[in-house]
Amino acid sequence: MKIIVKRPEDAVGKVQDIPNTLKALQEVVGGHIEVVTLATDLAIICNEEGRLMGLPYNCEVCGWDFVGTIAAVGVNGEEFTDVPLYLHEWVLKWLK
């Protein structure tokens, strides 16, 4: 699935293609995942224990502060999907 990954050291997020598996998402964020729903078709995946682990500050999106590597993913019902194409520009704008 095509997601947008933003690492703390990167100025902007980057589109990345990963398998649609829990393991792949855990590898992206470096641990157990936490899901922050932004809209009916968009969510941010982050490391559930990022603050406890002292991960570096990444960015703020819609009033949420994130630490460590995060991933924007599309949502269809209870499944993660590609980030919808019409949201790419918006997500890349906010993941700075």
Residue 92 has pLDDT above 90, yes or no: no
Closest CA to 4 of 96, 93, 91: 91
Interval 14-25: pLDDT, tens: 999 999 999 999
The CA distance from 75 to 52, in Å, is 27
Give the start-end residues of each E strand in the chain. 2-6, 14-17, 33-39, 42-47, 57-61, 64-67, 70-76, 79-81
Interval 11-61: pLDDT, tens: 989 999 999 999 999 999 999 999 999 999 999 999 999 999 999 999 998
pLDDT at 88: 85
